[in-house]
Structure 1
Amino acid sequence: MKQVELKTPEASSKMMGEQEKFTELIQNLGDINIVIDSSGFILQINKAADSSLPNLNNWANKHINNFLTIESKEKFDAQLTSLSDISRIVTRSFELNHISNETGEFPVRYKGFKLNGTDNLLLVGNDLTPVAEIQKKFVNSQLALEREYTKYRSYETKYKVLVDFTTDPIILVDGFKGLIVDANPSGHQMFCLKKGKLIGQQLEKLVYWDRTDKILEVLKADALTNSTRVLPLKVNKNSVKVRIVPAVFRAENELCLMLKLTPIKESISPTGEFSELLKKYYENTRDSIVFTDKSGIIKYINNSFLALCNSGSDQLVLGRSFSDFLGRGIVDLKVLIDTALANGTTVPFTTQFVSTYDIKINVEITATKAFNEYGTFVCFQIRYGSSSRKQDANEIVVNEQATQKIMKLVGSAPLKELVADTNDIVEKICIETALKMTKNNRVATAEMLNLSRQSLYVKLRKYSLL
């Protein structure tokens, strides 16, 4: 007969004490400890005494999915399925996001254990709220840094556009070392250098300076007293006088000196004597000389042109289109400018000059392309044309040639057909003459004859002039 062992009161008390210690141990394993059954219902829940988590007693006897976010529900179901395997008694660490009415969402990292003798599971969790707060601060710091960097890039872009858009030559100099740290395109053009080649050069090596005190200190003193200074610059072994307007300022720990350079002369002359000769020729020649931009707007004229157009002041002429003074207007101007820009110069072009009082004069015009650092110009030199007798003789020759062609047709066809053929001969002669006048420029020829380019090409094929 099997002997039944009776537990003494001392043994029962000892077992209850061990169970209380076990319960206390379980309660302090993590910030939150949950016992759930195999379907996910919460059987028991407690949190550590020093935990900052909200009150969770209302979770008991409810399914844990009621307190999880949508993405955490799928993650928890996967962990629950893995523990259903008999061979596994513990899960890997996994994170779940809980929902609380008091604090909103809060993250917890869990590890699951099977309890011996039952299908229940023990979830031991550590509160990740402090870690999440640190991560949130880090992300906010990164976003703030990105905003500051974007603002910095915006200021840098505005500075670059403002400096590059300025037509005045501007250079930025290190106030301590005297090195050029930045310059706009006009500043590089002033020294005849490509973009970027001016950066890093010493300012004192670009200026003719023979005084004992340093040029950098003198310019900083000028900036403090709002003074300007005229100095010669070294440009391709030549001396170019400029007026320097300095401004000094600090950027963080850097001392910067910004210099605005204004040329005293508009261009660099290799020799003053030759420049003076050109000036005398321009002022005293009987030929009329006009400078225009590429669109034909008059920029400079000499006194002979004023006399030719019967104008009392250059202010009445400057700024007008040169086509206003040409017999065929914009057609003549386009032929001259296009040919000059393409070939550099033109042969003498015969046309009529129309003065301010609509007086028409036969002239010969030569156009020449000219350019400097300020842009591209077209120079027109105007001379009185051939005498009317010579012109009449040319017209007689042309008329005789046309007459000879027409006379050869008499008797070869009825009069009606002869008239039609005569029109073709006249039309061909007109097209040939226009092509000669425009130096075979088809666009200008079409405009001169008031034809579309398509119609002109049709007629060129018709008369075998292509």
Structure 2
Amino acid sequence: MPSRNNSIEGKLPFASARTHFEVLGPDAAATLAMVAGDLALVLDEAGRIVDVTANPREFPDAQQWIGREWLDTVSVESRAKVMEMLANARKGVTQHWRQVNHITNEGEVPLRFVVVRLGESTNAIAIGRDMRDAAALQQRVLQAQQSLERDYLRLRQLEARYRMLFDQSADPVLIVDAEAFRIREANRAAHQLFQARNGTLQGAKLTALFSRPAREHLIAFLGSTLVSPGVLPIEVQPNNSADAVMLSASGFRERGGQFLLIRLSGAASAAEHASGEVMRVIEAMPDAFVLTDARMLIQAANPAFVELVSAATVDQLRGRPLADFVGRPGIDLDLIDGQLAKHDIARNVSTVVGARDGFDGEPVELSAVKTGDDQTHYGFVIRPIGRRLRDLPVTADAPRSVEQLTDLVGRMSLRDIVRESTDLIERLCIEAALEYTSNNRASAAEILGLSRQSLYSKLHRYGLGNLVDSLDE
């Protein structure tokens, strides 16, 4: 559609045009034509280009158009516009700016042209303005508009899904202003819980929906949830119900304001209440507790375990293998896993925590249980025993063995004493491995780094074969 901008139609004429422009010479007229547009074409009566002025950097092949028909330098779609402008120029009709696509070596270039007849001459001048910057700007504006429309459509779809999930949720859900505790949104289940007509809870005070004794506790609880996401739900009593409900909340920010997402569950059963008490006990117990999945990846842990492994928060531990913190690499947890697979329980297993980079680790005592059929989980209770070991009296067997070795000095050579010491240490290590693995020879051999055949040979060498056989029975 032709634009009427920058045309002379509708504009007031100069009051004294002859006085001002009578002295206008060829040079001044040429200057006006050059500054009026980015490209100017002088055309004869037949529409042939006889002269041209343009910036050679913007239109490097403009000089090649001289002597050619103007129609031959434009695209097929623009020829009708050129023919119309040439016909109107011959009649002396006022022109409007028309967009024409010029063909260049770099492709089509959009320009806006106006054709003006040169006085009484049959020639005319076509003044053009480069539209490439405007076209690029329009393209960017169009792309931005399309992107906004796509984002708007995506937000509308997300809002529709949120609204459907919010309204169809079986649990009562409330969106509450964290400052004034005014309800911003409430789903159908919330209206049913408080026996209110749909839409009447918006703007109501949250605390007014619960009994007076519970309001101060509720306000303190909501304040805690804004600074700590791990606060356990509380039990509150609605005004219009004899049954208490469990209330959980989490804070979030939106448009510079702070809000609370509040979820209400039905009256807590005795089992659910007991479960909550159990969780509180586990959180407060001095012994470390950790829960893992079937791959022994940490799912939850109490503060005692977090402190035991020198972590900052439990969030740093979730998803990490328990073997990174407990047991000697490739030994302890494998043995415990074997016992759990066979008996679903392991009691008072001696192991270490924090064994890495040459550090032997802190000795601990571990008990574990396996739960679940479809989704297996392991629960571990870990108690440090370093202080207990330091307080134990030294056994009498070890000093006697050492004294027996030192009594050999002077009666045997040092090489023989060293060989006897080696045999003593080897026997003690084998006995300790058998005791640690509950007399499992295969596991004991793995701990000691021996083959089973080598272990059997050493058992008979030290007279431990009959002892192990009797224990196995």
**What TM-score, normalized by structure 2, do the two folds share?**
0.47
Q: Which has the higher Rg, Structure 1 or Structure 2?
A: 1
State TM-score, norm by structure 1: 0.47
